[in-house]
Amino acid sequence: MRRAYALLLAAIAALSAPSLLAQTRGPSPIQVASEEERQRELSALGLKDTRPGAKNGDPASPFATNYDEAKANPFPLPDPLTGPDGKRTASAKDWWRVRRPQIVKAMEDDLYGHRPAALPKVTWTLASERQTDEYGVAALEKTLVGNLDNSAAPDIEVHIKAVLVTPVEAIQAGRKTPVVLAINWIDPPPGFPKDPNADYRTLILKRGWSYVIFDPTTVQADNGAGLTSGVIGLVNQGKPRRPDDWGVLSAWAWGASKVVDMLQAAPNIDASRVAIFGHSRYGKASLVAMAYDDRIKAGFISSSGAGGAAPYRRHWGEQVENVAAGSEYHWMGARFLRYAADPLTAKDLPIDANAVIALAAPRAVFVGAGRATGDGDGWVDPRGMFMAEASAGEVWALLGQHPLDAAAPAPLALSDSGALAYRQHDQGHTPGPNWPYFLDFAGKAFGRS
């Protein structure tokens, strides 16, 4: 029940809508415990509190969310190729040897936290399998469980849940298929409607590919109250995390890499052709997964917003202060809180989202979002995500790939350099309309790999 409730809160927050449960019943025990942990972390950093975040719904508020492009760019994006010493990286060798490690360090120091040097072994088992044609293609569905070694803390159990689906035709032919790894719900939380535009599974299977859905909350709960459990709590033997420790986004990304480990041993899967997908907060985690795991050859980073592909330095939609608030701070490492508290601000971050995107180079990255107006996808800053991806293209160019055209494409137009792509569809906070474009893009990337 606790897990289902946490998933429901995550789903509501992902749509940037106020929780009706919170309005009618007051804060849940999970929310209360999350805020208590946040206050403990603030105290450990010598901070009293963070600044208020942007607020939707009241344009007269001094903290009203900005959706005016004329006010959106108070700070320029830092050059992803320029290091802390002011020197610009001029060769592919120096990118791999010097600049990329600098970005990884800054990403861990100030954004997502440091992964532990030693992490538990994962043993995969087959829980069940069945044949199904519910997505229009005869397929074999396997439910798999990744059991984490908890000998260091026997009271904390972590079981990664994933569902792998492969077309029967490929199995009968002995053919290995490309695979899309989706960081997503395996089933929508109780009471949360299925998005009719998000049924990407049929599209994947009809291409003759496989997909695997990985439930990230089985690795780490989506709240601050859960930081003493899950893989973060397991490594810390149930103790609260330290300021340098990793956050939930990095833990989810690590879980995705453990799924890739499983795929490498799976029959009928071509593990050299793995794509990853995530939407909203799971889009953030997918970007982090690509930063760490170069076995992932293509990524669909959908509506990821702040903490993902949207620049922290842009004054549009979700802000650093929102990510540091009680419902989101656990995604990041604790030190990220400093940039939402005086005297530091987003402009003091040593890197921005463009540098995180650049860690995926020279692999294939597709960034997508919905319309920025009305009841669309404005909160995640569609234009800002394009700006960050285009800026990151400097690294692709250095590595011999084509960057994106820096001129923002019109809505519904696909900007595709071959290695980088961006598309803004005309609906709201959904990945649905961009799926056919991403699958074409990934197919071309797989053909090159």
Mean pLDDT along residues 336-351:
98
Closest to 366 (Cα-Cα) out of 347, 353, 385, 342: 385
Nearest to 351 by CA among 146, 11, 77: 77
Helices 2-14 and 281-292, interaxial angle, to 10°?
100
Strand partners, 269: 177
Q: CA 336, CA 329: separation in Å to the nearest integer?
A: 8
Q: What are phi and psi of 93, to 5 degrees?
A: -60, -45
pLDDT above 90: percentage of residues in the chain: 85
Q: Whose structure tokens read 């609906």?
A: 427
Do strands 122-132 and 296-302 pair parallel, antiparallel, or not at all (unpaired)? unpaired
d(CA 316, CA 378): 8
Rounded to 10 degrees, the C-alpha dihedral 22/23/24/25 comes to 30
Considering only residues 386 and 59, tell me which one the structure prediction assigns the higher pLDDT.
386
**Rounded Cα distance, 316 and 116, in Å:** 34
Contact 304, 356 (CB under 8 A): no
* Span 372-385, pLDDT tens digits: 998 899 999 999 99
270: helix, strand or coil: strand
Q: Look at residue 10 and tell me whether its pLDDT is greater than 70.
A: no
Residue 320: both structure tokens together:
């650093």
DSSP structural state of residue 115: P
pLDDT digits (tens, 9 = 90+) for 317-326: 999 999 999 9
% of residues, the chain, pLDDT over 70: 93
d(CA 109, CA 370): 31
pLDDT confidence tier of residue 418, bands split at 50, 70 and 90: very high
pLDDT at 18 over 90: no
Q: What are phi and psi of 362, to 5 degrees?
A: -100, 25
Query: What is the DSSP code (8-state) at residue 127?
Result: E
Phi, psi of 214 (to 5 degrees): -115, 120
The tens digit of pLDDT for each residue in 211-254 reads 999 999 999 999 999 999 999 999 999 999 999 999 999 999 99
What is the set of domains in the chain, with CATH numbers?
106-448 (3.40.50.1820)
Contact between 276 and 419 under an 8 Å Cβ cutoff? The reply is: no
pTM, entire model: 0.92
